[in-house]
Structure 1
């Protein structure tokens, strides 16, 4: 009767035993993995910061390119010449100016050629591409870390299911051992062992269940989900098993990795920096136009009665002749930095290939282990059921039943742990192959 009440309590708490856990879901109306990842791509702090960085970069590009447009300014000046300037001319001293003077100046300049502006024009496309690739890289990383945190919580739930199933079974064994001991059929050793096993199971379940709050907090942090709101998850075990399978036919291609595209863009930027250093030998050319209203008078009241305007238009050509060899050294520095970036790109290609080989090996070994442990779980269940029957008939000792129970529980936990290891390693493999597309989550995961 106590066993039946315990089972009802577990069912009431929503912790059903894992007799057929494969067809159950944690929540029926929670977020699926694609929905959660889609939420994270819109609300993750890391992604939002990258989006702001992209907007900042685009504004900086527009700010740099504004130098190609005419630069117009206006200046106003009012002067009270307390002491007028006196200059000797011949044998006479001549006083220049008026006590009160003012001018209102309009000026416009137009850059015709300047290496800074030319560099901004040539580099605008590279900067935009780098910002876009950086954002895409962060989005891909968000997909991976959110999915892994999601799988970690699902693994914890499956562990709780296994422990609940074992607690129900162990509770029954505890009651049976207690009844046999009270009836004088066995000594108290079986009863004590059953009590110890049940206490250990309760401790394990409490430890695993206590970790859920921290894992949910971590998932909320990654996804940008409000910490004070409840996050419910939804999954079906069959879909997870299907997701664990990897369809062959994807070849490793560096160009599919956004990180590699970003590295190539950064290399192109160093090449442009070399050209920028070389452009230091080229003169800069600017056009200008000025219009100046001059006002002066002996009395302040009559200062603005008449204006004496002046205007000018022309070109300014600045020719850098000699700077002590500075420009030559800057060109050599830029070329060395470009050579270093090229070596870095070659090394990065090797790193990406190594990452792919490691991810492929991890997935294949994890998948093989999962399939092996799946068979072990079924065998452990058969062994337990056989020994349980033999124990009930008095053929096997209770210690054999405890060993079989422990082996079954270990096989079940190892099986689920292996499944979620496969899912995590598959994410790493997909990232290594460049197969994660944040724009179409349902087809990527």
Structure 2
């Protein structure tokens, strides 16, 4: 009976573990994913962002470690010494031995920094160093948002391309059937249905290639998101909303340097370089610390009786260390810090030019792609009307099958170009928002 109960409990434990693991796996997956869902998932699960958060924690601990030097430092020292030959000295012309064979000292010491420029530097830059770590995380978040958004739109583009090719294949199958029936009826020769077969084979080949590419693009999206490789990812979207998002952007917006995280990082770097310059200018200042020690000394000729009697002593004091001459080390270090700061000023100037160039290129690309989008959207409507008309005329014997092939090819091309243009606009919008510094976790 006991064995049966233990067996049942064991099975229940295994099942509980299985359901717990399954629940954890389910929690880490998205049932349906919009671009917003994918980005939010990536901000939580992306390995690079996890590393950035760990880097922040390391930086915080490093700062605390540096600041710990302001607190009292307490240490314990122990020493035991046995003389095989006691030291001798000359005293009044007589050679005498000094000391005993066994000596030991146990001591406790305390030191307290009063002024130390290393610790002062850590104190004055602690907030800035932490800020720099947070800004690096934000920078990685912005990169992740950009990469995930583009990968998401790329998957949607391929899905729409597949949809176009599927519709094209259906049309070509119908055209092949019509052409073959007309050939069987003696209305046309075999050229028409063979051309239809060639077009159908080409469409199937393109469809197969697009399907394989879709798998690769899904893999890229999952990688950018930090999504489980074996997890199912179903993308959902609303075409009308997506089009509205693509065209809803104020193109009169001007770039503001302070909005760019790269510019903020440069400003933070300059603050740290200025602190480093002050640190080197302080090198003439003394280092001041207080100390106190309490020792217990033990002496005896016999090892077994070494610790029978202790002889305590204690003292406290103040230590000051003042550099008087260091060659030209202080001067050189100050000059190096000044040059690094001057170089940083040029980094800022160069970054401003880079930001302006990125903004100009991103704005030009967005406007050009947006214009192409509107033109190609109209082309889809025109190509659809042409194909419908030509197909009807072919069935009535007015147009040749070559006209149908051309019209069908124009329609497929127009549809594919339209979706390519939509993806290009969405991608260009992401680049433009990034160049403006408005692509942030708070605004996405």
Distance (Å, rounded) in 2 between the aligned partners of 1:79 and 1:330: 44
Provide the aligned length of Structure 1 versus Structure 2. Answer: 414
- Given the two structures, how large is their TM-score scaled by the length of structure 1? 0.91
Aligned to 1:216: 218
Tell me which of 125, 128, 131 is aligned to 2:127.
125
Are residues 331 and 29 of structure 1, via their aligned partners in 2, closer, same or farther at CA, if it must alter by over 3 Å?
closer
| 1:424 aligned partner | 427
Matching of residues 322-361 of structure 1 within 5 Å: 322-361=325-364
User: Does structure 1 residue 151 correspond to structure 2 residue 153?
Assistant: yes
Alignment of 1:161-310 (within 5 A): 161-248=163-250, 250-310=253-313
- Alignment pair present for 1:411 and 2:408: no
Q: Determine which of 372, 390, 397 is the counterpart of 2:375.
A: 372
For 1:245 and 1:308, the matched residues in 2 are separated by 88
Instruction: Name the residue aligned to 1:103.
Output: 105
Residues 52-63 of structure 1 aligned to structure 2 (within 5 Å): 52-63=54-65
1:137 corresponding residue in structure 2: 139
CA contact (8 A) 2:82 2:103 kept: yes
The one-character-per-residue Cα deviations of 1:241-260 (angstroms, maximum 9, x if unpaired) are: 12112332643211111211
Q: Name the structure 2 match of 1:76.
A: 78
The structural deviation recorded for 1:286 is 1.1
* Alpha-carbon shift at residue 327 of structure 1 (Å): 1.1
Match of 2:95 in 1: 93
Could you say what secondary structure the match of 1:327 adopts?
Answer: helix
**Partner in structure 1 of residue 36 of structure 2:** 34
Deviation at residue 51 of structure 1 after TM alignment: 0.7
Which piece of structure 1 moves more, 28-37 or 194-203? 28-37
| 1:301-337 C-alpha deviation (Å, 9 max, x unpaired) | 2222211111111111111111111111111111011
Q: Deviations over 1:349-373 (max 9, x none)?
A: 1111211111111111111110110
Q: Which SS does the other structure have where 1:309 is aligned?
A: strand
> Offset of 1:376 from its aligned partner?
0.7
Counterpart of 1:6 in structure 2 is none
Q: Distance in 1 between matches of 2:230 and 2:168?
A: 33
**Does the 8 Å CA contact 1:246/1:426 hold for their aligned counterparts?**
no
Counterpart check, 1:386 vs 2:418: no
Give the deviation of 1:391 after TM superposition.
Answer: 1.0
What's the offset of the Cα at 1:150?
0.6
Instruction: Report how far residue 183 of structure 1 moved.
Output: 1.3
Contact 2:243–2:422, Cα closer than 8 Å, also in 1: yes
Shift of 1:289: 0.8
Runs of 4+ in 1 over 3 A off after TM superposition: none
**1:168-196 CA-partner distances (Å, limit 9, x unpaired):** 11100000001111111101110110000
The secondary structure found in structure 1 opposite 2:75 is strand
Q: Secondary structure at the match of 1:251?
A: coil
CA distance in 2, matches of 1:260, 1:59: 26
Q: For 1:121-168, what per-residue CA distance to the aligned partner results, in whole angstroms no more than 9, with x for missing partners?
A: 111111111001110010011011011001100000000000011111
Q: How far apart are 1:29 and its partner, in Å?
A: 4.8
Secondary structure of the 1:97 match is coil
The answer (yes or no) to whether the contact 1:29–1:234 under 8 Å persists in 2 is: no
Return 366-375 or 250-259, whichever deviates more.
250-259
Q: TM-score, normalised by structure 2?
A: 0.91
SS at 1:235's partner residue? coil
Aligned-partner SS, 1:230 = coil
Which ranges of structure 1 fall in alignment gaps of 5 or more residues?
1-27
The structural deviation recorded for 1:266 is 0.6
Q: String of CA shifts for 1:77-130, please: whole Å, max 9, x gaps.
A: 122222111111111122111111111111111111111111111111111110
| Aligned-residue CA RMSD (Å) | 1.3
Report the Cα offset of residue 71 of structure 1: 1.0
Distance (Å, rounded) in 1 between the aligned partners of 2:128 and 2:259:
18
